[in-house]
């Protein structure tokens, strides 16, 4: 199945500090690629995988589960821990939930977590009906490109398959139950004006984790896909500052890209989920 333009995964070898970046539900690596590239440009070793069922057509997402999505980032994290002395996890939206579960499950193998508009619950009134509704209605309208910046666009699906929405709901419930196991330093960046994930999700996450080193930043000028919005540079700088504080050796790596990264380096970043 051909990938949508910009949906390619991104990897670049750098120094001994690694970062795993996770994209969101129905989106693709394109939505967070500028974030990943910025961190790679600072000399970090960066991995940004494409989640199963994403980056092609929405019908492919229909036949995947949250376990498939999590297994992909779990594999990437294990690979980074073999290559790097310290590893951080980052994510947007559902990618933030994936990052938090990695932290809960892997403990000291994760040195810190940075998330942007992390999802914790599907608030739609129809959500409790998904177990039945998904067998009657195949899909609903898409949730991509919630961006305030004129001209910015996210590469993702224009439809949300309800089987996948049901899987997402179950995943959020699973992660919510595991949040007390998150003890790592945590940076939460939240858009007060978000039309996809309610800001209250960030507040619940902050209230439920066991982390003591916690910081929240408000992204006042951006909507949901803030990594492509007006506050993108703020996100990038604050993430690197967060990592550098916890891993002073960060940024001492090379800028030489891997063969895969080099192959995709010219791909324009235009949007994300």
Residues belonging to the active site? 93, 194, 224
Residue 25 counted as an annotated binding residue: yes
DSSP 173-206: HHHHHHGGG--S-EEEEE-SS-SSS-THHHHHHH
1 is in an annotated binding site: no
Query: Long-range contacts: 132-139, Cβ < 8 Å, 24+?
Result: 133/162, 134/162, 134/163, 134/165, 134/166, 137/162, 138/62, 138/162, 139/58, 139/62
CB atoms within 10 A of CB 214: 15
Residues 6+ apart with CB under 8 A from 15: 43, 44, 45, 84, 249, 250, 251, 252, 253, 254
Structure tokens at 109: 């193998």
Sort strands 139-141 and 159-161 into parallel, antiparallel or unpaired.
antiparallel
From CA 10, how far away is CA 32, in angstroms rounded?
A: 10
Spatial CA neighbour of 240 closest among 104, 84, 41, 96: 41
- How many other C-beta atoms are found inside a 10 Å radius of the C-beta of residue 210? 13
Q: Rounded to an integer, what distance in angstroms lies between the CA atom of residue 154 and that of residue 107? A: 32
* Cβ atoms of 82 and 16 closer than 8 Å: no
Contact 109, 20 (CB under 8 A): no
Which residues fall in the annotated binding site?
25, 94
Which residues fall in the annotated binding site for substrate?
25, 94
């Amino acid at each position: 199945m051909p990938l949508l333009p910009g949906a390619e995964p991104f990897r670049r070898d750098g120094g001994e500090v690694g970062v795993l970046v996770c994209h969101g539900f129905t989106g693709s690596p394109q939505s967070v690629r500028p974030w990943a590239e910025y961190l790679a440009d600072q000399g970090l070793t960066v991995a940004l995988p494409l989640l199963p069922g994403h980056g092609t057509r929405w019908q492919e997402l229909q036949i995947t589960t949250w376990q498939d999505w999590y297994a992909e980032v779990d594999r990437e994290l294990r690979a980074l821990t073999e290559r790097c002395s310290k590893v951080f996890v980052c994510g947007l939206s559902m990618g933030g939930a994936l990052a938090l579960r990695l932290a809960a499950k892997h403990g000291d193998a994760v040195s810190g977590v940075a998330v942007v508009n992390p999802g914790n619950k599907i608030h739609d009134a129809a959500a409790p009906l998904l177990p039945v509704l998904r067998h009657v209605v195949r899909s609903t309208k898409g949730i991509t490109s919630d961006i305030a910046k004129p001209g910015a666009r996210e590469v993702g699906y224009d439809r949300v398959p309800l089987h996948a929405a049901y899987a997402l709901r179950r995943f959020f419930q699973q992660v919510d139950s595991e949040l007390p196991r998150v003890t790592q330093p945590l940076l939460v960046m939240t858009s007060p004006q978000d039309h996809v994930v309610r800001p209250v999700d960030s507040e619940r996450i902050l209230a439920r984790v066991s982390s003591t080193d916690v910081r929240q930043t408000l992204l006042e000028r951006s909507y949901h896909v803030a990594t492509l919005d007006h506050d993108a540079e703020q996100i990038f700088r604050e993430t690197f500052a967060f990592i550098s504080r916890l891993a002073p050796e960060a940024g001492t790596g090379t800028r030489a890209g891997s063969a895969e990264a080099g192959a995709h380096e010219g791909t324009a970043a235009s949007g994300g989920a």
